[in-house]
Amino acid sequence: MSNHPGSLDFLQTKTVPDLVQAEILRMIKAGQLQAGGKLNEISLAQHLRVSRGPIREAFRALEEAGLVKLEKNRGVFVREISPQEAAELYGLRATLDEMAGRSLALSITDAQLQELDDMLHRLDVAAENGAIEVYFPLNIAFHDRIVELTGNDTLLEFYRRVIDRMHLIRRQSFAARDGANPSRTEHRAIVEGLASRDAVRAASCLRRHVENGYQRFLDMHPAGS
């Protein structure tokens, strides 16, 4: 059963507040809702064609997930991530990706490698065309698929929680024109590491990619800027 918003299974098993929550998260991922921005309950209800009750329920769930903050007498805002929290999130993701690489390298099939290779090709095309609106969700899907292929549902659940929080800080890093070039090289190294069936190599490639991504983030957001 697919857990991705928009799939038939997802739509059939989710409540209205769940669907509203998924749509707000999609808007954050797409850059339609910016960190620090205020969420207008009435506008969202009109946009999504639902009553305000499900919007409020979605806000509460998103607050529990660390994606929005409710301020008394002021409203609901998309959370801004502090430098310390960004460091913590990147560190957590590096550890989770490393675990995924170590596990998947020992079980990955040729068909799964081909699937990842096909995703890399689509990422390359998007990067070459400067299509950030295509590249960004494909990049998310590529990494999510690597973790999903481990078959470790608990790992996948924790990974997705971390990634949801990282959407508040990561999209702007993709706006840099040259940002995709090192990522493309690192993506290829990840797939080659998995193809080698060498658990240490695959884990190292995935951790290095996240650590390099954090350094690129720091380069774009120097202390005090």
DSSP state, residue 87: H
User: Which of 21, 51, 78 is the last residue in one of the domains?
Assistant: 78
Position with higher pLDDT, 40 vs 1: 40
Shared domain check, 172 and 108: yes
Check residue 170 and give its pLDDT: 66
φ, ψ dihedrals at 193, nearest 5°: -65, -40
Half-sphere exposure at residue 85, Cβ-oriented, CA atoms within 13 angstroms: 14
Q: Is residue 156 a contact partner of residue 148, using CB atoms and an 8 Å limit?
A: yes
Q: Does residue 106 belong to any structural domain of this protein?
A: yes
Q: pLDDT band for position 1 (50/70/90)? A: very low
Question: How many domains is the chain built from?
Answer: 2
Shared domain for 22 and 49, answered yes or no, is: yes
Number of Cβ within 10 Å of residue 106's Cβ equals 12
When the pLDDT of each residue in the chain is averaged and rounded to a whole number, the result is 88
105-146 tens-digit pLDDT: 999 999 999 999 999 999 999 988 888 888 888 999 999 999
Q: Are residues 146 and 203 in the same domain?
A: yes
Same domain, 42 and 137: no
- For residue 198, count other CB atoms closer than 10 A to its CB: 17
Nearest to 66 by CA among 52, 75, 77: 77
Tell me the pTM: 0.83
Q: Is the pLDDT higher at 20 or at 13?
A: 20
Express each pLDDT in 62-102 by its tens digit.
999 999 999 988 999 999 889 999 999 999 999 999 999 99
Radius of gyration of the chain from its Cα atoms, rounded to whole angstroms: 18
- At 26-45, the pLDDT tens digits run 888 877 888 889 999 999 99
Helix then strand count (H, E) for the chain reads 10, 3
Higher local confidence (pLDDT), 19 or 192: 192
The pLDDT value recorded for residue 130 is 84
Residue span of the structural domain in which 71 resides: 8-78
- Please identify, among 34, 56, 78, the residue that sits at the C-terminal boundary of a domain: 78
Q: Is 61 contained in some domain?
A: yes
Three-state DSSP class for 93?
helix
**Tens digit of pLDDT for each residue in 171-207?**
555 554 444 578 889 999 999 999 999 999 999 999 9
Could you say which of 17, 48, 78 is where a domain stops? 78
Provide the residue type at 137 as one letter: P
